Amino acid sequence: MEQQKFPDFMALYHAWEQLANGPKAELRRVARPEELLEVPTFYRLFSGKAIQNGRNRHTSD
């Protein structure tokens, strides 16, 4: 049996902190976990794009 891989929760938290208010609000409005499948921000958060965008924003300041 393969060992289950878990996301880096600290990286997700930092990516969450880097999100603008609009995407954060999209995620807060979700009432049930299955609704996350319809929220693009959820996919960006887990794909690492939110983390990369946050890093790019800090380096350009």
Structural domain includes residue 25 = yes
Structure tokens at 15: 């990516």
Question: What is the rounded CA–CA span in Å between residue 24 and residue 3?
Answer: 31
Structural domain includes residue 1 = no
Give the pLDDT band of residue 7 (cuts 50, 70, 90). Answer: confident
Average pLDDT, the chain: 79
How many distinct structural domains can be found in the chain? 1
Ranges of H-type helices in 7-48: 9-18, 21-28, 40-47
Q: Record the pTM.
A: 0.61
Structural domain includes residue 46 = yes
pLDDT at 57: 43
The answer to whether 18 and 41 are in contact (CB under 8 A) is no
User: pLDDT tens digits for 20-45?
Assistant: 999 999 999 999 999 999 999 998 88
Structural domain includes residue 29 = yes
Give the pLDDT band of residue 50 (cuts 50, 70, 90). Answer: low
Structural domain includes residue 3 = no
